[in-house]
Amino acid sequence: MRSVMKTIFEAKRRYAQLPLFDFMRDDSLPAADRLAFYPCMAPFIMAFGDLNKYVLRDEPASDRFQELVNAHTYEDDHHWPWYLEDFTALGYDRPTTPTQALHFLFSDQLQVNRMLMTQLAHLIYGATPVERLVIIEAIEETGNVLFDLTAKLARVIEAEQGVTLRYLGDFHFNLETGHAMGSDEHRVLAEIPLDDTQRARCLSLVQRVFGYFEAWTNELLSFAVAELDRRSLQPGIEVRELQRA
């Protein structure tokens, strides 16, 4: 499994250099503008609890590896209310009708966000407990990249606007880093013996998870740029100027 863990960390380094994260690091834009993708995340974030409760979790656990999976699901199945808190704090909770809300959530703008949970569920349903741990680790590393940056932006917004951002800020980030696989669990995972077939399967899962999340970041960036254009805050900005080929 050591080679699988190494691949995850290498994939994380590449993931951190994607255009969305360059956009979030762009100090020429106000901190709040660099979070303009926030409404686009709704389908994925709101469904993530269900992924943990009903897809990853399997009780009673079949072995010690599924026990580790189950423990992680109890850490991650209840974060969506914090997302809604920040949705309001950032000013996105504007008057709308149920029809308008549904039209937004099921629009083409959010297609990748809607499909991400389905894609992950498809991987998980056919995965062994060890493979589920690999999927969890890959997901957590993508989240570490994102929430490290959102926490930095949240501190600025909180100081400027006097609001509290629990999902985007240090509250959530500290929980994520606190329950993420620590050195002991990384050691347990790294020491799991794999034959060539199992290793190839795990490496394929890592590649697919990071691929799904890369597409997700591209949709978030496109949404953010369109939102800034809509606000006329950056009328000349275009997606092609922010995205790499």
pLDDT of residue 240: 42
Q: Please state, in angstroms and as integers, the Cα–Cα distance from residue 186 to each residue in 181, 207, 214, following that order.
A: 6, 19, 24
pLDDT of residue 116: 97
Mean pLDDT split into 10-residue runs, the chain, 245 residues: 95 98 97 97 96 96 94 92 96 92 96 97 95 96 96 97 95 73 69 93 98 98 94 51 42
- E strand or H helix at 55: none
pLDDT of residue 245: 33
pLDDT of residue 205: 98
pLDDT of residue 175: 82
pLDDT digits (tens, 9 = 90+) for 166-206: 999 998 988 876 554 455 677 788 889 999 999 999 999 99
Q: Return the CATH number of the domain spanning residue range 2-242.
A: 1.20.910.10
Q: Hey, what are 4's tokens?
A: 């699988």
**The Cα angle at residue 33 between residues 161 and 81, in degrees rounded to 5:** 65
Among 68, 8, 41, which Cα is nearest to 172's?
A: 41
What are the sequence ranges of the domains in the chain? Answer: 2-242
Q: How far apart are CA 169 and CA 69, in angstroms?
A: 25
Prediction pTM value: 0.90
